[in-house]
Structure 1
Amino acid sequence: MSVLSEQPLPTAPAAADFVPPARALAAPRLTERYPALFPVAVRVHRARRRWHWLTGEEQWTSTREVEPLPTRVKKHKSLLLRQLGESEMWLQHNKVTNLRLASSQVDGVLIRPGETFSFNKVVGNCTRRKGYVAGMKLSNGDAESGVGGGICQLANLLHWMFLHSPLTVVERSEHSFDPFPDNGRVLPWGVGCSIVYNYVDLVVRNDTDTTFQLLVHVGERHLKGELRADREVPHSYSVFARDEQFLRHEDRVFRRNEIWRTVIDRRTGAAVGEELVKRNCALVKYLPDGVEIVSVT
């Protein structure tokens, strides 16, 4: 993500130009038509990723440091429990157990110059043998039970901190659905991550001469994180959403927006660049209330 200080800003998409996401239009996947093939597909994806970890050119993060590095780059926290429905609260409580285990693998990790951080590689496979329990997972936009469910919240927190740093986001997969209303939302919609071991990942690379450190832990009410560095970084970042829209197309509602960030000179406080990070579009799984829904053909 480079600083685009002198390039013209992209034009916001008009509602009339709306095209549903390819996933919403696509025919069912082979594994959806033949569920027995799904475990085979998972093994193939995992084998491919594992081979890449072994043979790729990346220098993967491998060092941890207990003592915090001297400079704070970004700090963030997210609420552990959201009131979604009594039938789902037990999944959220189990999610906290999973977040504690996953956070312990990430806490203290250093991302040195030239190194690449992989969420799946660092956290590993979240299995019952390691103590993970059934938590809330999202499948096709619906909440369901699954071992290790809920660790996407940790990936979301890390991604938000990465966006406020000069680290390069190499890989990040967003959710294909908008599953819940914005009740109590703190971050812009569209900055979250989907994680599936070990082929849907959050990967960042350090292309700077600065060493960064991840500090994360589960508090009483919040998942808390800090991104720290061994020296002052020259820029800070403001990340925000633009052109938020709800669009009705063929009896389905879609949500779209754009995620932008402003690059700010820490020394002067002046904005030195602005860049489009991501355009998002997803199928909405709830009935939006109190917002305008534009019908498009």
Structure 2
Amino acid sequence: MSINYKRIERPRQRSSIRLFWGKLVFTFRRYVHWYLSRTTKFAYKCSPSPLQYIIAKHQTPLYRQLRDVDMWLQENKVVNLKLATTKLHGLILKPGETFSLWRLVGKPTKRKGYKEGMVLSNGTFQAGIGGGLCQLSNLIYWMTLHTSLTVTERWRHTHDVFPDVNRTQPFASGATIVYNYVDLQVRNNTLDDYQLLVWLDKTHLHGEWRSKRTCEKRYEVYESHHQINQEWWGGYTRNNIIRRKVYDGKENLINDEFITENRAIMMYEPMLQE
């Protein structure tokens, strides 16, 4: 079955004044929601003792060979990840609570020890303080899709910057973040406590969602309706749908859920022929 995706318009360059005031407004709105919301209870307590059962786990390499990307940006990214993971490691997400990545990590600044890492912006990459933390949000989002937790806020990348190199997950199965208004938030609508563990070793970023009880379901995340389209303005766009199959304890398929639809402008020319 094919699907006709909505066409993406030609990218427009917004003025620096509009970008400045827009960021200011959205940042202020987020602070208001964090500290004055009466409907959202944010998680903030951590525990040094891991809960008994691993519900989902994942790891991603700290260093990749990326075209035109200097390795010092990745070295700095590792420093940034170490700082951010210390704010999240051991977090207890109780029933009814919401995990907000930025509310816990805080604003990455030089004063806190954050360095210039790779930041994706409008289809290009540049050096920026705190760059590389999207690897952390990608990891947490991917793990969360394999649990009974509910993702309440996730933003997709608007541009596909790098060609697939040894890709092990579906295209656009991550979550981008920009302090503080582009956040990753997860709500615990279950009856059990969940615990987030994130840490680094010499080669990988690791993560786990844990709980006091085993999960009675198994989740399989997959991609459907993947398309690459040439737009009227000459560029290419990449589209897909992320879904997940849900199995019970006896490996019976009990549901096939829609997760999200992704659309991104490709910043490289696709290989149209073998």
What TM-score bracket applies, with the shorter chain setting the length? Answer: over 0.9
- 1:133 corresponds to which letter in structure 2? K
Aligned pairs (5 A) from 1:141-290: 141-250=123-232, 251-265=234-248, 267-289=249-271
- Opposite residue 241 of structure 2, the aligned amino acid is E
SS of equivalent residue, structure 2 residue 49: coil
Q: CA RMSD in A?
A: 1.6
* More divergent stretch after superposition (49-58 vs 36-45): 36-45
What does the per-residue CA deviation read over 1:104-130, in whole Å, with 9 as the maximum and x for residues that have no partner?
Answer: 111100110000000110111011111
**Relative to 1, partners in 2 of residues 1:291 and 1:113: Cα closer, same or farther, differing over 3 Å?**
farther
Gaps of 5+ in 2: none
Identify if the C-alpha distance between structure 1 residues 290 and 75 changes in structure 2 by more than 3 Å, giving closer, same or farther. farther
In 1, Cα distance between equivalents of 2:198 and 2:12: 40
Residues in 2 aligned to 1:73 and 1:26: alpha-carbon distance in whole angstroms: 40
Do the aligned residues in 1 keep the contact of 2:5 with 2:239 (CA within 8 Å)? Answer: no
SS of residue matched to 1:38: helix
Q: Which residue of 2 aligns with 1:43?
A: 24
For the structure 1 residues 60 and 280, does the alpha-carbon distance in structure 2 shift closer, same or farther, using more than 3 Å as the test? Answer: same
Matched positions, count: 272
Give every structure 1 segment of 4 or more consecutive aligned residues whose post-TM-superposition deviation is greater than 4 Å. Answer: 25-28
AA aligned opposite 1:217: W
Q: How far apart are residue 231 of structure 1 and its match?
A: 1.0
1:284 is aligned with what amino acid?
M
Contact 2:48 2:90 in 1 (8 A): yes
What's the offset of the Cα at 1:247? 1.2
**Cα distance change, pair 284–115 in 1 and its aligned pair in 2 (3 A):** same
CA distance in 2, matches of 1:179, 1:139: 10
Residues 203-241 of structure 1: CA deviation (Å, up to 9, x unaligned):
111111011111111111111111101112221100011
Is contact 1:20-1:281 (8 Å) kept? Answer: no
Distance 2:97 2:176 in 1: 22
Partner of 2:6: 19
The Cα offsets for residues 44-67 of structure 1, whole Å up to 9 and x where unpaired, read as: 211111111111121100110111
Identity %: 39
* Residue from 75, 82, 91 that aligns with 1:93: 75
Query: What do residues 76-134 of structure 1 show as CA deviations (whole Å, max 9, x unaligned)?
Result: 00011111136522111111110111111111001100000001101110111110000
Q: Give the deviation of 1:38 after TM superposition.
A: 3.0
> Residue 63 of structure 1: SS of its match in structure 2?
coil
Give 1:291 deviation, angstroms.
6.0
SS of 1:247's partner is strand
Q: Does 1:110 find its partner at 2:92?
A: yes
Counterpart Cα distance in 2 of 1:94 and 1:44: 30
| SS in structure 2 of the partner of residue 130 of structure 1 | coil
What is the letter of the counterpart of residue 35 of structure 2?
Answer: L
Long gaps (5+) in structure 1? 1-10, 293-297
SS of the aligned residue for 1:238 comes to: strand
* Structure-2 separation of matches of 1:12 and 1:190: 19
**Shift of residue 271, structure 1, vs aligned partner:** 1.1
Distance change (3 Å), C-alpha of 1:134 and 1:100: same
